[in-house]
Amino acid sequence: MLMEDVLKHPTKVLTARQRDRFFEDGCLVVEGMVSDDWLARLHAAMEASVESSRTITENDGRFVLEAGHSADTPRLRRLTSPVSHHPDFWAFASESVAADVAADVCGPDVKFHHSKLNFKWPQGGQQFDWHQDIQAWPHTDYSPVTIGIYLEDVGEKQGPLKVIRGSNRGKLYSMYDEDGNWVLRIPDDKLPADWREREMSLTGPAGSLILLSCRAIHGSAGNASARMRPLLLNVYSSADSMPYCANPIPSEYAGTIVRGKPARYSCHDPRGCELPPDWSAGYVGPWAYQEDARGREAAA
């Protein structure tokens, strides 16, 4: 659904002003909307996942490991598709206020696309270079939105998500380098000239919801603090927005309508989108592409 049609529907959980801010900035932090009960359930599900990672010694379809991971001291970058690994992750994605918030910015009919739980382990959790998401999972319109929730308090030192305010209304950048490698990053010198003035840190206490437009330029610094930064991310779209490339993080829930009803017609935004590599051959997460790119830059 296009933004002008979404705006014809009243909001249910956000204020109209919060929704306007989201469409203006491409991001929004909402505190105090997720109950303590949900936060406790998600925290317990996260802890159970970390526990089960102790037996893992290399990346698999479920975990992306941080350097130094061991049975004694787990260190994770990502739990891939958490909705597939614990019922409370799917219950949160489909039954909680997170899906209501998605309906406020996607329109009343909402479809689930994928999920991930990004950790930034204390003392060394990895950075994310600046990038836009939609080129990795193009849809027929730009309604896709990521609804995140911090499972711990996140301040500047934990590597909060950062967004270049208003970049959702700007152009889409190429996620390939000059040699045609998929790098999922935008070098600083290619960013909008005034990006430093528009950089926003999305900090907040545990339970804060983070809304991120699929077109917004975003990234995050490493975590040099002693506190972990777990960020659960669920991606939704309007029901009439159709993905046309392989899902990089497929699951049994992809395409599930979580609010409203299925679409009978697809919605098409006239602005095209760069196509990603074919993820049906596998997807390794952003770090590998971004680290390879930094390595090539350093060697040049």
Residue numbers of the site for ligand AKG (CB under 6 A)? 118, 128, 133, 161, 218, 220, 231, 286
Give min distance, CB of 160 to ligand AKG, in A: 7
Give the nearer residue to ligand AKG in terms of CB position, either 163 or 267. 163
Give min distance, CB of 41 to ligand AKG, in A: 21
Give min distance, CB of 263 to ligand AKG, in A: 26
Give the nearer residue to ligand AKG in terms of CB position, either 11 or 132. 132
Give the nearer residue to ligand AKG in terms of CB position, either 27 or 110. 27
289 Cβ partners below 8 Å, 6+ apart? 181, 182, 183, 184, 185
Give min distance, CB of 126 to ligand AKG, in A: 9
Give the nearer residue to ligand AKG in terms of CB position, either 133 or 240. 133
Give min distance, CB of 100 to ligand AKG, in A: 22
Residue 245: count of CB within 10 angstroms of its CB: 17
Nearest to 250 by CA among 282, 274, 273: 282
Burial 221-241 (b: 16+ CB within 10 A, else e): bbbebeebbbbbbbbbbbbbb
> Which residue number places its CB atom closest to ligand AKG?
220
Nearest to 93 by CA among 73, 115, 78, 61: 115
User: How many Å is the maximal CA-CA distance in the chain?
Assistant: 53
Nearest to 97 by CA among 190, 32, 28: 32
Give the nearer residue to ligand AKG in terms of CB position, either 94 or 118. 118
